[in-house]
Structure formats: structure tokens, C-alpha cells
């Protein structure tokens, strides 16, 4: 009889973990409080961008953001009411805003994400039906100095055998992406990158999982775990007890509460992201767009346009701030030739954030059969296939094809209070 695995979480990260665990021969059940893909994944811009693997803590980030981070419409916002809760987390984050840690994190993330494009192609070849666009990504700028600085920053990936970025002057950019306004002075191009429509991805993976015999249990809450010495023996849910040989926690920003039930502290915070979707709008945008100065992204899907971005720290909640939505619309207006409609579908989601900017992928300390995959920040959609594969390899074979030491969930044990 095959080993029984339960994956807690049916976002993109959890679904991909379930997919690769099933491919490793396990009997898999996925449990989630909602329907598959309806959490943080659903309003994502869907960028598949392994070149953008640098962790969020970076040299100079705090200084550049300090004056604006208390403004509700700025790209980075910290609610004053949340500062007491966030103080320890922010101190650790600040300590990681240095060149050495950022470079080490980039190297680890690029190694993990090296197979991302290949893994997405494999999903399509395996019959997973989802919407994917392959026209590349443009980093667009209104200021020539900011454009050059971003180009130099992205050139770091060439040291790790990734295709280097390409500069686009204003003249050639006008022909390549005519939807951009005349205010855009140029762009950095990443031609190999892609974007997907994330709800179609989640639905496609869920359908493929069911065809492979995976049971998906939606609208069910995990209450706790039953343990025997160093092993988890069952997952306790609102629908009853589920016996397990292996459990993988991939519940996004809620993962820390679940690992805490197992005695392992993960200092997760919710970095809230926003998006506005315009159903039926085709703005003629050919590429995935990153609007450089405003840290806003734009994705054109089949039959919809989405503007997304911002990073808000205001606690583990899903309150939607109209000011943040206004900030997204204002940002897009600065870069696009045609104005967006006034009305759109506003969304907010809780990105799982760890203070060093790296995810937690691996075995939980002190437990032989409990694993976690969370903390992917803004990159959950594109990192999910590689994270899921690495987690499945580690849990079944005892080792992954990539070094998971930088992502060890135990690296925070005994450190600052969350």
C-alpha cells in the first residue's frame, strides 16, 4: 500500500506539492479552507519570472522606502497600528538588507528556480490545461537613470548562467509595445519570461490531480494534529480525523499557525498585495509589464486585464484599502497610452512573508514526517513547480536535486519573537 500524504493548502504551492508527491507514488489528499486556488493565488499577476529571484531585503531598501512607507498609496506601506507586532520581524528584515545576504539569497533562489520554465512546459505536456503567454516581460521606466540602475541590477543573473536582460531604447520599444505611453523612456526586456492566468492554472492542476486519483477536500479547516513521539499520525479537521504517513503544510500566510501546532515557530507575516481586474478589456498589451518606479505589474489575459502590486504590512487580515487600489490605478495611468476604466474588480490577498526574503521548504525540526512549503512572498505562482518538486524529492527520497539548506524551516528556531 502506498504511503498516505496530506497536503494542507490548495493554493498553487500546495497543488504543485500534491502533484509531485503523487508523481512520486504517494496516495495524496489535499485539504483547504476554501476551493482550490481561491486564496492568495487567485488575484496574482501570474508572472513566471525565474530571473526575478532576488529576495526582497536589499541594500538601501529601507532608506529608499522610509519616507513613503507610511503613505497608504505608496508601493510599500506599513500600518502604524501594526508596528508593535512587526517590530521584531522588521528588525530581522532590516538586518538582511545588505549586499552579502542578498547575493547569497539570489544564488539559492536561482538554483531552485532554474527548472521553472521546463516544469511549466512539462505541466502542459502532461495535459494540464491553463492559460500561458510566452511573449516575455518588460521593465518599463519613466526615468533614464532608474532604467539603467535596474538593468545593472538584473545583469547579476548572468553570473549564474541565466540569459542576461536586454535594453530597449524608446524608439524600438514603441514598435515592440505600442500600448505604452510616450512618457516611457525605455525598458529592460526579459524575453524568456512568461505569465499565466492563475485561476486557470489552479483549476487545471486540480483537475489533473483528480484524474491521477488525488482527493481534494475543500471548505474544510485543519484544527490540529495527532502526534506520536517524533511523527504526525493524523490531521484533525472539521470533517474528522485523517490518518497520514506524511503531512506537508502549504497554507500560505496561515502556515505559521499550523507549524506552531507542531511546535515549530515560523515568523510569517502577511505582505498584502492588491490587484484590479478589468473583465473583457483587451488593451492591446503584448507583454507582461513591470512599471518600474511604482513597483506595479500589468498582465493581459485572454479577455481580461489585471493591474497588481503593492506591499502592505497591516497584520493577518484581508481588509481592502481603497487608497491602495487608487494607487494601482494611478500608477498604471502613468505608463499606459490609453486610460483604464474607472471601475474594476478590486482584490486583496495575503502573501506569506519571512523576514529574510526566502521561503521555508523542508522538514520541520523534530518531526520525521512533517514538511512545509511557504513564505514565497510575491513569487508563489512561479516558484510553485520547483518548490513542489523539491519537497516531494526530499520527503520521499531524503534529498532533493537542489540544495535546500538555505530554505531550512528550522533556521528561525530560537531567534527573535514573531
Q: Render pLDDT for 286-324 as a digit per residue (tens, 0 to 9).
A: 999 999 999 999 999 998 999 999 888 888 888 888 888
pLDDT tens-digit map of 109-137: 999 999 999 999 999 999 999 999 999 99
Compute the distance between CA of residue 301 and CA of residue 197 in angstroms, rounded to an integer.
7
pLDDT tier at 68 (50, 70, 90 boundaries)? low
pLDDT tier at 415 (50, 70, 90 boundaries)? very low
Residue 77: the pLDDT is 77
Q: Find the length of the chain.
A: 418
Q: How many CB atoms lie within 10 A of CB 182?
A: 8
pLDDT tens-digit map of 26-61: 999 999 999 998 888 889 999 999 999 999 999 887
Residue 73: the pLDDT is 63
Average pLDDT of every residue of the chain: 92
Residue 71 has pLDDT above 70, yes or no: no
Global pTM value: 0.94
How many angstroms separate the Cα of 104 from the Cα of each of 54, 156, 360, 372, 406? 9, 12, 15, 22, 9
Percent of the chain with pLDDT over 70: 95
Residue 417: the pLDDT is 39
Residue 348 has pLDDT above 90, yes or no: yes
Residue 402: the pLDDT is 97
Residue 400 has pLDDT above 80, yes or no: yes
pLDDT tens-digit map of 163-200: 999 999 999 998 999 999 999 999 999 999 999 999 99
For the domain 58-80+133-194+269-353, what is the CATH superfamily, name and number?
A: D-Amino Acid Oxidase, subunit A, domain 2 (3.30.9.10)
pLDDT tier at 81 (50, 70, 90 boundaries)? confident
261 CB-contact burial (10 Å; exposed 0-12 / middle 13-18 / buried 19+): middle
Residue 76 has pLDDT above 80, yes or no: no
Residue 1: the pLDDT is 53
Compute the distance between CA of residue 273 and CA of residue 324 in angstroms, rounded to an integer.
9
The full set of domain ranges for the chain reads 58-80+133-194+269-353
Q: How many CB atoms lie within 10 A of CB 403?
A: 13
Residue 174: the pLDDT is 87
Residue 313: the pLDDT is 85
Residue 362 has pLDDT above 80, yes or no: yes
pLDDT tens-digit map of 276-288: 999 999 999 999 9
Residue 79: the pLDDT is 81
CB 260 within 8 A of CB 372: no
Name the residue with cell 541565466: 162
Amino acid at each position: 500500500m502506498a504511503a498516505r500524504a496530506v497536503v494542507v493548502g490548495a493554493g498553487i504551492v500546495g497543488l504543485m506539492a500534491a502533484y509531485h508527491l503523487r508523481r512520486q507514488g504517494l496516495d495524496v489528499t489535499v485539504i483547504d479552507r476554501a476551493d482550490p486556488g481561491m486564496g492568495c493565488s487567485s488575484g496574482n499577476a501570474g508572472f513566471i519570472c525565474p530571473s526575478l529571484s532576488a529576495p526582497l531585503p536589499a541594500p538601501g531598501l529601507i532608506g529608499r522606502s522610509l519616507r513613503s512607507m507610511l503613505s497608504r498609496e505608496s508601493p510599500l506601506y506599513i500600518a502604524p497600528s501594526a508596528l508593535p507586532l512587526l517590530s521584531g520581524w522588521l528588525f530581522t528584515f532590516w538586518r538582511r538588507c545588505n549586499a552579502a545576504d542578498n547575493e547569497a539569497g539570489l544564488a539559492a533562489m536561482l538554483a531552485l528556480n532554474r527548472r521553472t520554465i521546463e516544469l511549466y512546459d512539462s505541466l502542459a505536456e502532461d495535459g494540464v490545461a491553463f492559460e500561458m503567454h510566452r511573449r516575455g516581460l518588460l521593465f518599463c521606466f519613466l526615468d533614464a537613470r532608474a532604467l539603467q540602475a535596474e538593468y545593472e541590477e538584473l545583469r547579476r543573473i548572468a553570473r549564474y548562467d541565466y540569459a542576461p536582460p536586454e535594453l530597449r531604447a524608446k524608439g524600438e520599444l514603441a514598435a515592440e509595445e505600442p500600448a505604452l505611453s510616450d512618457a516611457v523612456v525605455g525598458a529592460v526586456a526579459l524575453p524568456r519570461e512568461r505569465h499565466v492566468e492563475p485561476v486557470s492554472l489552479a483549476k487545471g492542476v486540480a483537475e489533473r490531480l483528480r484524474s491521477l486519483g488525488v482527493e481534494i477536500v475543500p471548505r474544510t479547516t485543519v484544527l490540529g494534529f495527532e502526534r506520536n513521539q517524533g511523527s504526525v499520525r493524523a490531521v484533525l479537521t472539521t470533517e474528522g480525523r485523517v490518518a497520514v504517513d506524511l503531512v506537508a503544510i502549504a497554507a500560505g500566510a496561515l502556515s505559521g499557525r499550523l507549524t506552531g501546532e507542531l511546535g515549530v515557530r515560523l515568523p510569517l507575516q502577511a505582505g498584502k498585495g492588491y490587484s484590479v481586474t478589468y473583465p473583457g478589456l483587451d488593451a492591446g498589451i503584448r507583454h507582461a509589464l513591470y512599471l518600474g518606479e511604482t513597483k506595479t505589474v500589468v498582465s493581459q489575459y485572454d479577455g481580461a486585464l489585471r493591474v497588481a502590486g503593492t506591499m502592505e504590512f497591516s497584520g493577518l487580515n484581508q481588509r481592502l484599502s481603497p487608497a491602495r487600489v487608487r494607487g494601482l490605478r494611478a500608477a498604471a495611468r502613468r505608463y499606459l497610452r490609453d486610460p483604464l476604466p474607472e471601475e474594476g474588480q478590486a482584490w486583496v490577498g495575503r502573501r506569506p512573508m519571512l523576514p529574510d526574503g526566502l521561503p521555508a521548504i523542508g522538514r520541520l525540526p523534530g518531526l520525521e514526517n512533517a514538511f512545509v512549503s511557504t513564505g514565497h512572498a510575491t513569487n508563489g505562482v512561479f516558484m510553485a513547480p520547483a518548490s513542489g518538486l523539491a519537497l516531494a524529492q526530499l520527503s520521499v527520497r531524503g534529498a532533493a536535486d537542489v540544495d535546500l539548506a538555505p530554505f531550512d524551516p528550522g533556521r528561525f528556531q530560537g531567534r527573535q519573537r514573531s
